[in-house]
A and B are shown apart, each in its own frame.
Chain A
Amino acid sequence: MVKELEDVVDVPVVHICTVVPISLTVGANRIDPAVAIPHPLGNPKLSPDEEFALRRHIVENALRALTTDVSEQTVFEMP
């Protein structure tokens, strides 16, 4: 889906996903690794505030991916 969207809309697309190897194999260009399969942008062990902060981190990382030029598939590990 990531690739088709990128081709059709002609804009950068970032894939926030847990199983990065699948995204890589399939060919997403910008990948932002997520937390876990049942909660990619969350962690129920954290307090709501901490969880929001974590989610914000992952989303900001996704925005970093969208604002970074890439020439090949790139996994944007969390800084």
Chain B
Amino acid sequence: MAEIRVVHYLNQFFGQIGGEEKADITPFSQEGPVGPGTALQKELASDIKIVGTVICGDTYFNENIEAAADKITSLVAGFKPDLLIAGPAFNAGRYGMACGAVCKAVQEKLNIPVVTGMYEENPGADMYKKDVYIVKTGNSAAQMRKAIPALAKLAMRLVRGEALGSSAEEGYLARGVRKNVFHKQRGSARAVEMLLQKIKGETFATEYPMPVFDRVSPRPAIKDLSKAKLALVTSGGIVPKGNPDHIESSSASKFGRYDITGVNDLTKETYETAHGGYDPIYANEDADRVLPVDVLRQLEKEKAIGSLHNFYYATVGNGTSIANAKKYAHAIGEELKKEKVAGIILTST
């Protein structure tokens, strides 16, 4: 049987070059397996050989994503591989981003199966799980001994062209691909069975896990609105015309803070929406439809509220991860706390 050729992608640390001080190294390749590649080789069948390893610094990669991915793809191609394995990256964010990006680029340009492994919360997982197979690993390299066999197993199935089962069955991160399958028992029967198990307090397995959201305790009501300073925040992407901070239309990487001192009304000449997740036509005509500055200024004039804070905050909620949304809100919150704001209105579309 012809040998199956594999290339392994590693960062500077696992590639045995060095730590953070070497995170800026540019991509290069060498023959055979390196570092964890040796353990990986042992888990692969005898006809599957790691013929080469490509190594790149995590910082270099993330600061030069396109150029690095291109260079790495060429280096990978030089080995004439049948399969690429990257990482595992565990929870290392830059490494996970690199593994995901390299896998995606190689998959697209070289048209060979690719696979990587990382922890669920790795930003690379969020970014690339829909594009490439990512084996679920623990959150640190202390779990290397479990991650390597899992990675090898999925890699072998992929390169042999075997049909894969669900993410739960095969141990990869759910890609959000829904596949219709025939179940021997029909849905209504399964639903009733599950409900009965739930009622009886027995354990049951959901067919569709809901993401878990935590709760916060509701704060006490404002006692005197006429003395209250209120702040406006929006995830609807309302920004000054021209989007000066270039807030992205999806997967926003930042939020903006905008001065509305003396602004009593948002107009189509002065404001727009940056949000790519809803039809912008109405918000572009009149941004008050998403960020009600005009009404709040009116209420301020009538002394129904103490004041409208002269700065509003905006980001784009489209495709923004929970983690990022929380991060931006945390930073915004720290600023509003200093301003002694009494209440906040957050608008979303």
B-contacting residues of A (Cβ < 8 Å)? 1-19, 23, 25-27, 29-30, 34, 37-42, 44, 51-52, 55-56, 58-60, 62-63, 66-74
Contacts and interface: CB of A to CB of B under 8 A. Distances in A.
Contact of A29 (B216, B298, B334, B348): B216
Interface stretch (B5-13, B82-90, B117-125, B289-297): B289-297
7 contacts: A3-B215, A34-B349, A40-B348, A41-B292, A55-B288, A55-B289, A62-B345
Contacts of A42: 282, 286, 288-290
A9 B282 contact: no
Interface string B73-115: 0000000000000000000000000000000000000000000
A67 B305 contact: no
Interface residues on B, range: 35 or more
A18 B336 contact: no
Given A41-B289, A44-B282, A52-B294, 11 more contacts: A4-B330, A12-B220, A14-B346, A16-B346, A17-B349, A38-B278, A38-B349, A41-B290, A67-B221, A67-B222, A74-B218
Contact of A27 (B213, B221, B236): B213
Interface of B: 210, 213-223, 225, 228, 230, 233, 235-236, 278-283, 285-286, 288-292, 294-296, 298-299, 304-305, 315, 317, 325-326, 328-330, 332-334, 336-337, 341-349
Given A39-B290, A66-B222, A15 B213 contact: no
B349 to A, nearest CB: 5
A71 B69 CA distance: 52
A23 B325 CA distance: 14
B336 to A, nearest CB: 5
Q: Which of B298, B328, B346 has the most CB of A within 10 A?
A: B346
B341 A9 contact: yes
A7 B345 CA distance: 14
Contact of B333 (A5, A23, A56): A5
Contacts of B326: 1, 4
B343 A8 contact: no
A39 to B, nearest CB: 4
A55 B292 contact: yes
Contacts of A34: 347-349
